[in-house]
Structure 1
Amino acid sequence: MKSNLSRALFSLLAFMLMFAAFNFNAQANESRTQLTELDTAEIFGDLELGSERPTSVIVELEAESIVEAKHKGKKQTKANLKAERGKVINELKKAVKDADVNREYDYVFSGFSVKLPANEIMKLASVDGVKAIYPNVHYTAEVISKEEISSEEFSPEMAASAPFIGANDAWKAGFTGEGVTVAVIDTGVDYTHPDLAHAFGDYKGYDFVDDDNDPQEGSGQYHGTHVSGTVAANGAIKGVAPGAELLGYRVLGPNGGTTEDVVAGVELAVQDGADVMNLSLGNSLNNPDWATSIALDWAMAEGVVAVTSNGNAGPNNWTVGSPGTSRDAISVGATRLPYNAYTAEITTSEGVEYPSAKVMGFPSDDNLLALNEGEYEFAYAGLGYPEDFEGKDFEGKIALISRGEFAFVDKAENAKNAGAVGAIIFNNVEGEHADVPGMAVPTIKTTLADGQKLLAEMKAGNNKVSFNIEFDQAVKETMADFSSRGPVTLSWMIKPDVSAPGVNIVSTFPDEGYAALQGTSMSSPHVAGAAALLLEKNPGWGTNDVKAALMNTAKDVVDPGTGEAYAHNTQGAGSIRVVEALNTNTLVGTGSHSFGKFIKDSGKQVEKQGFEIKNLSGEVKKYTFEVEFAGNPKGIKVTTSNNLEVEPGTTQNVNLNVQVDASKLKPDYYEGIVLVNDGTQTIKVPTILFVGEPDYPRVTGAFMDNAGEGSYYVGAYLPGGAEILAYDLYHYDNGYVGDFVKTLGVFENTPAPYHEFEWDGTVQNGIEIPNGDWVMAVYVEKAGVMEYKAYLVTKE
């Protein structure tokens, strides 16, 4: 595999050098004609502008939305915006006959969505009044695993996450979210569920998938109902804010949804009077400047607390996706509630040892310990696909499964569906794979070597296994591995802002049911519910007050492996604590701080910034400030006000001056804490800065989609764009990269955050490659950093 990659990369670089030399010579011979640059709208993303295929985009107008104009001290009306939008649409339809306008926006976003041939987008960009054009990207409501709970198995004690963050103590203090309206922008909601019916009035919201006034969740969908229960259930279980009112907005169908409906849902929720909105949805685009993020930022400005999940693509940095990348909305990471850790030993026959055996995940302590009760037959299920279990008897047995190709939780779910009582998953490469809490059956993990031993034992007829599982230790709240991490490209902000429980969260399920789900989708509604409690107590608070209260009072989550708090871009300000947020006497906004990047090669670079501090108490408070960067690196110096007296009920600005001497620092990401102390309470404000060009991944994914008539849309996700970009196709050989086939395309200076082009599906001499699995390797070069990553794609 390495030789193939090296050969392809060498050929690619040689081609690049030749291409660059050719361009230089050609330019040297050109006459110096003065060209006039045309004034066109900015096009975000790298759309295939030469293709005739119908493409849906979101158009932002130069005319400001009603909310944006209001907050800039200007006057704007629906009538005026309708007229301005009409002018642009009329000009567009004159230029592009096939333009089909769908949704129109004016409240928190000014513009419309339109479908038109991709090669007509430049005509759209040249129409007067158009400010920017955004791709209409795909959004999904993802969970890491799902386990329905029968009414026979269900008990209210399963819903432990709301009490853990202190919601039940808030109820005792008289705060349940009464009088606060929370909009759930999701897959719809089963508003007939007995635990949710109380929260809905005659007007229940809107369905943007079917375009009607009934946001009832679609057949086979459940996500929005589960999210709604975590916010405001009040029956067999209680959500965080059981007294809150709910509105449902269905923007995601069975196959997800797109920007145009998400933005429409945000707009209508604001106009319908929501106080809080929850968006447990997302995509993989790490970029803050998209239509959805713009809509959320202005929703926050208008007084609606916008809460969104951070994504399930962790544990690496830079994995946060839109709309979790929004500058102002509250992005939420996922934690796992305290749990018991266990050791595990497995035995097959005498003299055969499996030293790598460890507990990987389990649905409950009792399920796990039940494996100690006897000897079990085990059978091989390959990769654990449903078809790997077909025609085989796994009832009451242990499924032996190889890692690879799809999620661990789905492998365990398939084993459970086949009747297995447990699973052993062995690695397909050297080393240990991750723990995954909340597996559908008790699951043990081993290395590849120990997995091969188990296969050999089975082949030899020794297909019985016994377990010795013992309690090891009680583990406190931890971050979930799947929880996406920041920072955000371009804005360089810390994300998530806060964290909340997101593993094995029991909540409402359609048709009067309950289910345990996990994902940051489950974390976000905890924070939305907490925001409702805060607004009930403090109806005059602004959105940044709510955000600051939750962030300022969050509790550090500690990594049990290191004994140190998780990094800011893993946990944000920490795990929320409702009672502490309700009782805080100081608000430090906006809860975290990024100094951005410092790219001066030599000498000192100084930046002046600051934040607000609000004294909520009834007495004068004197604040002191201290800034600490991890490891106390030489070359970073931050100065602040020494002492600051703030009158009761007033707000003052605190100045921060940061001086960075790049000559004393290696290019890296540095995190620190601003400590704000009033003599009785210390608030920690997370902060970060970057020296040199940040180390964001140059490529985060690739795709190949059927375009019809034998052609394909090929593309990659590029958080920071690319100076040089190339796509190489390889054979896929049973889990490995096979022989090199062809370089499909080479491109220069492609903008963030994604690129696509149309490929005719052929290789040499017009020969079309057959359908099936292939490997596409993407080469990216940006700011002196080169990456070459391989992705499994399917040609259909």
Structure 2
Amino acid sequence: MSFFLSLFLFTAAAIPTEYSLIIEVEGNPHEFAEEIETYHPNVEILAVYDTIFNGVAIKTDQRNLEQIKRRTNFQQTYSVQKYQTQTTQTNINASIPFLIPEPLPYTGKGVKVGVIDTGIDYNHSDLQNSYKGGYDLVDFDKDPMETKPEQGMPTMHGTHVAGVIAADGKMKGVAPDAELYSYRALGPGGTGTSVQVMAAIEKAVKDGMDIINLSLGNSINGPDWPTSVAVNRATEQGVTVVIANGNTGPDLWTVGSPATANQVISVGASTPKLERPFLFDRFHDKKIEMIPMQGSPKWSFPRDLEVTNKEGKITHDTILIMDRGETPFAQLAKEAEEKGAAALLIANNEKGVFQGAVDPNISIPVAAISQEDGKWLKENPGYLTVDHEKIQDTVTDFSSRGPVTVNWGIKPEIVAPGASILSTVPGGYQALSGTSMAAPHVAGVLALLKEAHPDWTPAQLKAAILTTADPFQNFQPTEQGAGKIDPAAAIKTDTIIHESLLEFGKITDTSVQKVRKLTVENISDNPKRYAFELPKQDQDIRFQLPKSFTLQPGEKKEIKVKATIRPGQMEQGIKQGYLFLNDIPIPYMFITEAHDIPKGMGLELTVTPLEDSYHYQLYLVEEAKKLTIDLYDAKTFAFVTTLVKRTELKPGVIEGEIEQQKQLNNQYIANITIETNENQTYQYQTIWEGQGELPKVP
């Protein structure tokens, strides 16, 4: 009997009369589609997938779904995971010359680049020459235009990404002669589901894309989440896949799927040449970092300003501090403007940094600050100076960090400019920041590289840009991978190192020897000698490196890098750094049990259309003795119920069904508790918008 999986295109927040879903089959998906058409003529076949996975997308109502289930006996195994764009003033003609200071003999001519995103404004004057077609996987038609205001919250993200890759007009992208194809997987507001993302990947592969750019992601740090599996399969089909690493840095473990896939190229964000504003308190010799919000005016004041959170003391020389909460940033900015403040600082309500946007019509500068700096400013009111610092070649704070859970992989693999990048948007141009802006720089460079080396495989293209990357001195592999991409060096490289990330995994012994293999390939016309630089002595890890060797033109050699690891004295629980073969960076990393590794992440609660129940799904990193999910009222923090109690769980996707019990229409906090086999307890929380019935405890 065939085994069926389904992805349902809806959430617990709204149950439509018709559903779009994907049924994944073990057998022939075309035969399954014919069976549906024969026995269920009222069911619309949206698409058939037979490349990165076997499945059929359908659209129908509740009654037909029940009939299909009775006939085929398929079962749901994982629910929809939401995806969103990875966006958080520099002209594109500044960021690209910064990356490519001298003209290159390649422009991406003849290379097909698929942009899986919010669509593309193909009427934009700078994109008309490059745009060649695409498909809309939100509405399932051949018009992948950005969401317009009459269709919902309008979007511009995909057009911005497309401009970085291949704008060819007033603004020039990295590869202006590349052929752009748009696959609209994210709808109004820039959000979508795994249904649309996987369908878009499938369509792009079938359409013969050379390169796919996905400036999107979720919060699930797992290498075997369905979308991570899908992009790996796309790579196996000969497509080079570039993915934004995420915007939830600077903490470790913040990379999310599908950037967690091991065969793709995950991209972090670095800074081009920028002037960044900051506040300075001379009396306390204190510097306050700020992240200006998209759409607000520049921070430029010739005089010192008083910083306060006391709304009764506002004057035209006041910077008002407000706390981040449920009120939209644009509304906070409008309120501060109406109160007469000269500028607004929005302090985070949790640890770390954040980014945001306000209405471009706001006349006062608005910026985000950390929770810690907000508290300090409230306790130390006074006059501060607005100053600026010139920065370049740093990894941005917002850029998500690795490593990946389960396989302990290094992410991102590479970084590119992603801060204040001006590019095309519907109706004009706008500056955006995020790893969403970094990824298309890399996709454009790969188009140049593919034109220069049309026979290279995705693995060779990836190896070339990692081999020639330039690591920043003050950043680690989990922040920058091999370093900043160097387009000219990648095109003219005479050496490629395959599998150049030395991932030694999780170390549980007091002393262990690890061996990793690299393949060095001389692609030049002359013999080349290779030698490792001797690393500094380190009591935690000692390398036994191969002796120097020479490769003839076109010759490959597999070498072994041995490492004796004794982590007993380590305090951080993670060790990483770089080896150098000639001047080629080779990142390495291992972790120990002393490191604070997340034990689980994510939680999806969705109403199933076929059963009077909820389907839940989360990701478990390691084996667990017990899993508990408790629900609390988000406003009062009162305990509501225990949703799930399970024991003896294996790592990976954890899922199940919960019967409905009573009405549940508020906002809730789900507290997930994981008890490990070592009797350790790990907890995390997530917000859930309830609608429908309260689940019973299974």
Tell me, yes or no, whether TM beats 0.5. Answer: yes
Partner amino acid, structure 2, of 1:137: Q
RMSD: 4.5
- CA contact under 8 A between 1:58 and 1:135: conserved in structure 2? no
Counterpart pick for 1:371 among 274, 292, 301: 301
Distance 1:91 1:234 in 2: 47
Against the structure 1 CA distance between its residues 711 and 289, is the aligned structure 2 distance closer, same or farther, given a 3 Å change threshold? closer
Residue deviations 1:238-287 (CA, integer Å, cap 9, x gap) = 11111212111112211522333323322332332322111111112222
- CA contact under 8 A between 1:188 and 1:224: conserved in structure 2? yes
Counterpart pick for 2:414 among 498, 519, 525: 498
Partner SS, residue 481 of structure 1: coil
Counterpart pick for 2:221 among 280, 286, 297: 286
- CA contact under 8 A between 1:306 and 1:329: conserved in structure 2? yes
Distance 1:653 1:159 in 2: 41
CA shift, 1:122, in A, is 14
How do residues 52-131 of structure 1 correspond to structure 2 at under 5 angstroms? 84-86=28-30, 103-113=47-57
Alignment partner, residue 177 of structure 1: 108
Residue deviations 1:24-48 (CA, integer Å, cap 9, x gap) = xxxxxxxxxxxxxx99789999xx9
Partner SS, residue 525 of structure 2: coil
Counterpart pick for 2:124 among 187, 190, 193: 193
Counterpart pick for 2:140 among 211, 214, 234: 211
Alignment partner, residue 633 of structure 1: 539
How do residues 536-555 of structure 1 correspond to structure 2 at under 5 angstroms? 536-555=451-470
Alignment partner, residue 484 of structure 1: 400
Residue deviations 1:161-187 (CA, integer Å, cap 9, x gap) = 111211x52xx2322222222111111
- CA contact under 8 A between 2:112 and 2:211: conserved in structure 1? yes
Alignment partner, residue 645 of structure 2: 746
- CA contact under 8 A between 1:593 and 1:685: conserved in structure 2? yes
Against the structure 1 CA distance between its residues 295 and 442, is the aligned structure 2 distance closer, same or farther, given a 3 Å change threshold? closer
How do residues 394-543 of structure 1 correspond to structure 2 at under 5 angstroms? 398-404=319-325, 421-426=342-347, 434=353, 441-443=365-367, 445=369, 446-448=373-375, 450-451=377-378, 467-471=384-388, 473-511=389-427, 513-543=428-458
Alignment partner, residue 183 of structure 2: 249
Structure 1 position 583 matched with structure 2 position 492: yes
Partner amino acid, structure 1, of 2:584: I
Residue deviations 1:213-237 (CA, integer Å, cap 9, x gap) = 2222221121110100000112222
Against the structure 1 CA distance between its residues 760 and 44, is the aligned structure 2 distance closer, same or farther, given a 3 Å change threshold? closer
Structure 1, unpaired ranges of 5+: 1-37, 64-83, 127-131, 145-153, 348-352, 383-392, 455-464, 559-564, 763-767
Bigger shift: 707-716 or 740-749?
Answer: 707-716
Structure 2, unpaired ranges of 5+: 60-64, 149-153, 692-698
Alignment partner, residue 700 of structure 1: 601
Partner SS, residue 569 of structure 1: helix
How do residues 314-325 of structure 1 correspond to structure 2 at under 5 angstroms? 314-325=249-260
Against the structure 1 CA distance between its residues 627 and 247, is the aligned structure 2 distance closer, same or farther, given a 3 Å change threshold? farther
- CA contact under 8 A between 1:57 and 1:134: conserved in structure 2? no
CA shift, 1:672, in A, is 3.6
Alignment partner, residue 726 of structure 1: 628
Partner SS, residue 197 of structure 1: coil
CA shift, 1:141, in A, is 1.8
Distance 1:718 1:643 in 2: 43
Partner amino acid, structure 1, of 2:601: T
Partner amino acid, structure 1, of 2:127: L
Alignment partner, residue 623 of structure 1: 530
Against the structure 1 CA distance between its residues 602 and 497, is the aligned structure 2 distance closer, same or farther, given a 3 Å change threshold? closer
Against the structure 1 CA distance between its residues 608 and 435, is the aligned structure 2 distance closer, same or farther, given a 3 Å change threshold? closer
- CA contact under 8 A between 2:532 and 2:581: conserved in structure 1? yes
Against the structure 1 CA distance between its residues 493 and 97, is the aligned structure 2 distance closer, same or farther, given a 3 Å change threshold? farther
- CA contact under 8 A between 1:427 and 1:448: conserved in structure 2? no
Alignment partner, residue 644 of structure 1: 549
Alignment partner, residue 560 of structure 2: 655
Alignment partner, residue 568 of structure 1: 477
Residue deviations 1:664-691 (CA, integer Å, cap 9, x gap) = 87893322433212xxxx1011122334
Distance 1:705 1:302 in 2: 32
CA shift, 1:139, in A, is 2.1
Q: TM-score, normalised by structure 2?
A: 0.81
Structure 1 position 789 matched with structure 2 position 684: yes
Distance 1:427 1:435 in 2: 7
- CA contact under 8 A between 2:250 and 2:352: conserved in structure 1? no
Residue deviations 1:574-628 (CA, integer Å, cap 9, x gap) = 11121222222111113423133344x4664x55431211112211112123574
Distance 1:504 1:247 in 2: 25
Distance 1:477 1:413 in 2: 34
Partner amino acid, structure 1, of 2:385: N
- CA contact under 8 A between 1:285 and 1:719: conserved in structure 2? no
Partner amino acid, structure 1, of 2:195: E
Against the structure 1 CA distance between its residues 122 and 212, is the aligned structure 2 distance closer, same or farther, given a 3 Å change threshold? closer
Partner amino acid, structure 2, of 1:632: D
Instruction: Indicate the structure (1 or 2) with the bigger Cα radius of gyration.
Output: 1
Distance 2:340 2:178 in 1: 41
The percentage of aligned residue pairs carrying the same residue is 32
- CA contact under 8 A between 2:274 and 2:390: conserved in structure 1? yes
- CA contact under 8 A between 2:307 and 2:377: conserved in structure 1? no
Partner amino acid, structure 1, of 2:137: F
Counterpart pick for 2:159 among 198, 220, 225: 225
- CA contact under 8 A between 2:134 and 2:143: conserved in structure 1? yes
Against the structure 1 CA distance between its residues 428 and 284, is the aligned structure 2 distance closer, same or farther, given a 3 Å change threshold? closer
- CA contact under 8 A between 1:507 and 1:514: conserved in structure 2? yes
CA shift, 1:370, in A, is 3.0
Against the structure 1 CA distance between its residues 424 and 346, is the aligned structure 2 distance closer, same or farther, given a 3 Å change threshold? farther
Partner amino acid, structure 2, of 1:633: Q
Distance 2:5 2:562 in 1: 34
Q: TM-score, normalised by structure 1?
A: 0.72
Against the structure 1 CA distance between its residues 748 and 644, is the aligned structure 2 distance closer, same or farther, given a 3 Å change threshold? same
Distance 1:443 1:658 in 2: 46
CA shift, 1:293, in A, is 2.8
- CA contact under 8 A between 1:358 and 1:444: conserved in structure 2? no
CA shift, 1:290, in A, is 3.9
- CA contact under 8 A between 1:96 and 1:120: conserved in structure 2? no
Distance 2:334 2:494 in 1: 47
How do residues 757-776 of structure 1 correspond to structure 2 at under 5 angstroms? 757-758=657-658, 760=660, 771-776=665-670
CA shift, 1:567, in A, is 1.9
CA shift, 1:523, in A, is 0.9
